Amino acid sequence: MPIRADTANARDVFGAVALTKRRRNLLALVSIAGLLMLWWLVTALAWVDKVLLPAPAEVLSAFMRSASDGSLAKHVGISLLRVVEGFAIALAVAVPIGILMGSFAIARGLIEPVVELLRPIPPIAVIPLAILWFGIEELSKVLIIAYGAFFPILVNTIAGFHEVDRTHIRAAQALGASRLQIFRDVVLRSAYPFIVVGARLGMGMAFIVLVAAELIASDAGLGYLINDGRYNFHTDQIFLGMACIGVLGFLLNRALLEAERHLLKWKYVGQ
Amino acid sequence: MHEARSRDAIIRIRDLSVQYERFRALEDVALDVYEGEFVCLLGPSGCGKTTLLNAIAGFVFPSAGTLSVNGKPVRAPGPDRGMVFQEYALFPWFTVEQNVQYGPRLRGVRGEDLRALSRHYLGLVRLSEFAGRYPNQLSGGMRQRVAIARALANHPAILLLDEPFGALDALTREALQDELVTIWEKERRTCVFVTHSLAEAVYLADRVVVMASAPGRIQAVLNNPLPRPRERASAPFFDLYRTIDGVLRTVLTHAEARPSTH
């Protein structure tokens, strides 16, 4: 079996053998436990006002409460649905447009100026307009998330088309491939890794926009949970919301990484 | 040699010139290549040997003259002319087997026929047990053997090889030369092989086409009468080596003198 590069005992810059997976896990445990200990210590010694920094146990009990009455699952579910819907729309729109722009100079010449005009505007600045246009319900949030995720996916998809190796195209031509077959088997295949990178960056942006949209106008979701905690001085709820966002983001990124491993298997096999 | 000459040329090139913008890559090239023949294009870099190969492949177009394969003028790349590149050009997203099957699959070969085909050609280059690997799991020499198998599996009339062993170390290089000769003797495809290695040309070719640069042109075409299997360290090998080296040296001094006379 080939060894995955990321789990091999690679050497660090000074030539010493880098950590084994077991040691790395152990260090990770120590690092996170250390942070929790510090947090606990600060609250136990009452260095900071309890209202501003709740004890770990309080956040845990806030978690237990909202987990048992189902409210946490509702907030997580709504946020997850929004981000997945928005991301899916972005993927479905950005990849075909990127392919079009990557393949046809005229399409690129026409669309690129608009993209370059809109791209520097942070998607968060578009939220008020989206609320006016599409209302305060789900539609506006999903569309803003899609808008935010759209640009990283588009830009990377276009970049993928520049990385096509001319020799690969010639090899396919000499084997009798038609233009369409070259597009399918060489050009798209060469662009895949870039599209995947774009998707991961897009997901990161979708997540930022999700939380911003929920903070500004929402009556459910993790962003709402945080904002609601602020209004009611429930700092434990704020911490809970932040932790959930962290975990959700981690899991979504992990899911995309797994999809990448599967889709680009050839990149992950070593010597 | 003489029986080959009596047949029609499979590649026929007349008055061929190739112009890249203001650079004249080839000028007035004439060459016939006969069926089953192994021809080496030899010369210093910049002599247009790769351009000539690319013109036969259909990757570059003549600005003057004619170039025909099997009596038909070359207008585009096609499966009748298999290509082996110096940089291998294997598709990294396909396994070794999928790479070899790619050409036949495009022609509609499927199922057991397709598997038999890739089995045969991977066996020919002795890589049967690597069928399921990806190209980036193989060494350079192995990759080039896959590339040769991929080209042959498509049953081309002509095999075009562009410095295929140029990136390999000397030992691997000689081993692959041996392997190529063995394959060529079994499959009897017409081979046009670009190299800048004189020893390689003497070892492989039936005829050596010596090219000169600025502008790229054919200086001389030399027969290689050495019987096969050839002995690299033999006296006749060195004799022929010296003869062609003499031609090559006139080409090089000529090229160096040229800018001042221009």
Domain A56-268, CATH among 3.30.43.10, 3.30.1300.10, 1.10.3720.10, 3.40.30.10: 1.10.3720.10
pLDDT band at B255 (very low <50, low <70, confident <90, very high): low
Domain boundaries, chain A: 1-47, 56-268
Q: Using CB atoms and an 8 Å cut-off, which of residues 160-179 of chain B contact chain A?
A: 160
* Chain centroid offset of residue A36 CA: 25
Note the pLDDT tens digit of each residue in B45-101. Answer: 889 999 999 999 999 999 999 999 999 999 999 999 999 999 999 999 999 999 999
Note the pLDDT tens digit of each residue in A167-199. Answer: 999 999 999 999 999 999 999 999 999 999 999
- Look at B79 and A176 and tell me if their CB atoms are within 8 Å: yes
The whole-number pLDDT of residue A131 equals 92
Cis peptide before B135 (omega within 30 of 0): no
Output Rg (C-alpha) for chain A, integer angstroms.
23
- Look at A171 and B107 and tell me if their CB atoms are within 8 Å: no
pLDDT band at B1 (very low <50, low <70, confident <90, very high): very low
Output Rg (C-alpha) for chain B, integer angstroms.
19
CB-based contact (8 Å) between B91 and chain A?
yes
Look over chain A and give the mean of its residue pLDDT values, rounded to a whole number: 91
pLDDT at position A208 over 90: yes
Question: Which residue of B50, B59, B81, B93 to mutate against A (max A Cβ within 10 Å)?
Answer: B93
pLDDT band at B8 (very low <50, low <70, confident <90, very high): confident
Domain boundaries, chain B: 9-35+43-79+190-228
In B, which residues are within 8 Å of A2 by CB distance? Answer: 137
- Sign of the C-alpha dihedral, residues A220, A222, A225, A230? negative
pLDDT at position B250 over 80: yes
pLDDT at position A227 over 60: yes
- Sign of the C-alpha dihedral, residues B124, B128, B133, B138? negative
CB-based contact (8 Å) between B150 and chain A?
yes
The whole-number pLDDT of residue B246 equals 93
Cis peptide before B104 (omega within 30 of 0): no
Nearest to B82 among A172, A174, A267 (CB): A174
| Alpha helix segments (H runs only) across chain B | 2-6, 49-57, 96-106, 111-124, 140-153, 170-187, 198-204, 235-261
Domain B9-35+43-79+190-228, CATH among 3.40.640.10, 3.40.50.300, 3.40.30.10, 3.40.190.10: 3.40.50.300
Sequence-ordered list of residues with C-beta below 8 angstroms from that of B121, at least 6 positions apart, any chain: B100, B149, B150, B152, B153
- Which whole-number Å values give the CA distances from B107 to A176, B114, B147, B165, B257, in the listed order? 8, 10, 18, 29, 51
Rounded to 10°, the helix A127-134/A138-162 angle is 120
Distance CA B101, CA B97 (A): 6
Closest CA to A148 of A112, A121, A110: A121
The ipTM of this complex is: 0.92
Distance CA B78, CA B81 (A): 6
The 10 Å Cβ neighbour count of residue A20 is: 12
- Look at A269 and B85 and tell me if their CB atoms are within 8 Å: no
Distance CA A142, CA A87 (A): 8
The whole-number pLDDT of residue A270 equals 64
- Look at A189 and B154 and tell me if their CB atoms are within 8 Å: no
> At A15, is the secondary structure helix, strand, or coil?
coil
